[in-house]
Amino acid sequence: MSEPDQLSATHEAALTWLNGEPDDDPVADLAALRHHEPAAGDSALTVAQREELLALLRVRAKDICGRFRPRLLTASLPLSREIHRTAMALIDSLLAISEHYRVLAAELQRRWLWARRQELVDLSAQALELIGEACILGNMAGAVVPFGLWQHAHVLWLAAGMREQLAGGAGADAGMAALCVQY
């Protein structure tokens, strides 16, 4: 087996956990997610391995959000310290995973293969989905938006090539351009 094909121990452990059943307790699942999330930043992994790991991390993170949201809905404000810490940790994890997506998209942009154009759009969309989820959780927890979140979202928006589309490239939608300029 060639060196790029070999899986590191952390990558293998992350894949094993992600392919297993989620914990019944979303807080315990979040702790495991935070433990395995750094594996997606391993530069020794191939692009395909990182994409696979990020896709699995995104699905698990969204699952944890879905199971944690009822706790936020039933909690009274101000939140207890435990629920607030968990919500902030979940938001941090969502943003960390979206940052891994941004790094991967930037790497693909440096190579700039037109064949991978749709892949850049998909990676950016998945990262923006996580940022949106972080905003929703933050609002539900009565927290402020984390510093730099909108800059991060803007970088992902640019990585998807939206600037070129709005500049009048082929298939540019005037309605979408007006909305983006307005907001």
pLDDT digits (tens, 9 = 90+) for 134-156: 999 999 998 888 888 888 898 88
CA distance 34 to 100: 13
Cβ atoms of residues 42 and 105 within 8 Å: no
Reported as a single tens digit per residue, the pLDDT across 65-85 is: 999 999 999 998 889 999 999
The distance from CA 131 to its chain's CA centroid, rounded to whole angstroms, is 7
The structure's pTM equals: 0.83
Specify the pLDDT at position 169.
Answer: 53
Question: Domain for residue 176, yes or no?
Answer: no
The confidence score (pLDDT) of residue 164 equals 59
Query: Cα separations (Å) of 171 from 52, 165, 182?
Result: 30, 7, 20
Q: Is residue 153 included in any domain, yes or no?
A: no
Tokens found for residue 156? 């992902």
Domain span at residue 43 reads: 3-147
Residue 135 lies in a domain: yes
The answer as to whether 169 is a domain residue is no
pLDDT tens digits, one per residue of 48-67: 899 999 999 999 999 999 99
Distance separating alpha carbons of residues 91 and 118, to the nearest angstrom: 27
Confidence of residue 167 (pLDDT cuts 50, 70, 90): low
pLDDT, position 166: 55
- In angstroms, rounded to a whole number, what is the distance separating the alpha carbons of residues 31 and 164? 40
Residue 142 lies in a domain: yes
Please report whether residue 88 resides in a domain.
yes
Question: What pLDDT is attached to residue 18?
Answer: 95
Nearest to 56 by CA among 27, 85, 77, 33: 33
User: Looking at the 3D structure of the chain, how many domains does it have?
Assistant: 1
Report if residue 105 sits inside a domain: yes
Residue 163 CA to residue 46 CA, distance in Å, equals 28
User: Do 40 and 53 touch, CB atoms closer than 8 A?
Assistant: yes
Asked, for residue 16, whether it belongs to a domain, the answer is yes
CA distance readout (Å), 65 to 7, 111, 119, 125: 28, 34, 25, 18
